[in-house]
Structure 1
């Protein structure tokens, strides 16, 4: 196993805290470098089942642990505003003593996008909101006394996020985006960039086809960093093994083989899901624990 690669886990917010707290404790005990949760109002096939809010869960997780980094993977603009979100993030960063990372993406066209009663956004509007949201969020967090911002979709007037983030100049952003605009945002604002592959790949796509897709994405990020004069090595490259990448969780040896492949093309971090009893992400907890041992 490559000793320099970092390992993270996603713990879905679908169980009561008296159960879930043990998962977060275990993630730290197993030696994971970071642990994440999804930020949705509800999610896919679990829409009619228990689903808890990301930021309170992360706050509780931060209080339950001492060294584990925690974060959203990922939040979006679907039901948030940059000014109020900045205040919540600043507070969570203080409570966690500087262990918060914000994973942020454009969001999808699912339940979250219409839950507040708004009309669905076009793909173009979604991408534009993504850019504007990240720009204003960065401004409010870096400048706790932001006076004015007037964009097409978001505005701020005498916004305050004092005293500012524990991590200076602000919490790290890990930007999700596999197209040109998302990768450009990651290169400009991100401490990291995250991909879970190419969602346009067919279900029957081969391992090599998935690999070639992310290899192309890494190349795009490298080119964009070069274009704006940023050191490519200054940005973390995170791969989230999602439901379309089930081979990652077959065995510890299979994980190790794939992790070596992905590190060779430039990924610095791999994130796996804590297995659930049923789909999505049904799996073997023993395999999960064996994988965690690989990076110790």
Structure 2
């Protein structure tokens, strides 16, 4: 399979002052998909401009024609399956069936408690995620859903006419632990990883590749247990969080080398961050565009 190249555009620009232009340029450059983070704020951008993911994607849907659009990733930290399903069905309709939902258990950053809840432990996040995903799956595929759970409930929740994409829009499940991988195997059309966070600061590229190989092996085991072929799932690597994060976008050759090694592992899609000056994701825009337009052909 030919490797797909996508980008993630952080919602840091006003729509009429660079926001629209970035999404349109992403389509012009030939990216497979344009994603955005579904956070209320994020790390170093906490005290800077940051807009909402779903309104941004709605605007991007009206400003583009071919580019797939999605979240990387949505989480239960401040979403409820019933309201999220209604918004996703609307967004899928507006985009003409171009939406992918990246979804994960969420982290413990400062926006994780923005609704006033106590900080959840990893186990508590996993418990909620295990209930959130199957309910959202039902809400996006059934006309009316009633379900009463420990954390999330729906009472005669109507979702007519459903998604443009049938039976529903695809889920890209972000997971590395056993419970999350089982959810990816059961409900995902794709699987997402950022690598092993323990290796981000002090690991080597070789250690990172070995860790990713181990994650893919575990995904394969989870798929086998669910009666699925692991090759049915796209495998998405969100870059910027591996030991090579400072060099991946330094040159076309550096990116092709990085992407080639991960393509050999079985990744079908690699996502690079749209350059944001004076941030973790700063990059030479000319090099970025060269990668966007030339890398996939070199990797074919």
Same fold? TM cut 0.5 = yes
Return the alpha-carbon distance in structure 2 between the equivalents of residues 202 and 13 of structure 1. 24
* Structure 1 moving runs of 4+ over 2 Å: 243-247
Cross-structure match for 2:40: 41
SS at match of 1:158: strand
Whether the 8 Å CA contact 2:173–2:192 is kept in 1: the answer is yes
Q: 5+ unaligned residues in a row in structure 2: which ranges?
A: none
Partner of 1:287: 287
1:178 match: 176
Aligned-pair Cα RMSD in Å:
1.1
CA apart distance, 1:26: 0.7
Match for residue 25 of structure 2? 26
Question: Partners in 2 of 1:89 and 1:240 — Cα distance?
Answer: 22
2:272 is aligned to 272
CA distance in 2, matches of 1:17, 1:171: 26
> Does the 8 Å CA contact 2:195/2:241 hold for their aligned counterparts?
no
C-alpha displacement at 1:113, in angstroms?
Answer: 1.6
User: CA contact under 8 A between 2:85 and 2:140: conserved in structure 1?
Assistant: yes
C-alpha distance after superposition, 1:152-171 (max 9, x if no partner): 10111000111100101111
2:124 matched residue in structure 1? 125
Deviation at 1:112, TM superposition (A): 2.2
Equivalent residue in structure 1 for 2:13, among 12, 15, 20: 15
Partner of 2:196: 198
The answer to whether the 8 A contact 1:243-1:281 is kept is: no
Q: Is the deviation greater in 274-283 or in 85-94?
A: 274-283
Once structures 1 and 2 are overlaid, which stretch shifts more, 197-206 or 254-263? 197-206
Per mean C-alpha deviation after superposition, the further-off stretch among 80-89 and 199-208 is: 199-208
Mark the CA change 1:290 to 1:202 in structure 2 (over 3 Å): closer, same or farther.
Answer: closer
**What whole-Å deviation, never above 9, does each CA across 1:195-221 have from its counterpart, x for those lacking one?**
010112251211111111111101111
Partner of 2:96: 97
Cross-structure match for 1:85: 84
1:153 is paired with a residue whose SS is coil
Bigger mean CA offset, 214-223 vs 65-74: 214-223
Of the structure 1 ranges 15-24 and 194-203, higher mean CA displacement relative to structure 2 is found in: 194-203
Would you say the 8 A contact 2:189–2:233 is kept in 1?
yes
Which of the residues 181, 198, 214 maps onto 1:216? 214
Q: TM (normalized to structure 2)?
A: 0.95
Q: What is the distance in 1 between the residues matched to 2:289 and 2:49?
A: 25
Q: TM-score under structure 1 normalisation?
A: 0.97
The CA deviation at 1:105 is: 0.4
Match of 2:233 in 1: 235
Q: Distance in 1 between matches of 2:172 and 2:246?
A: 23
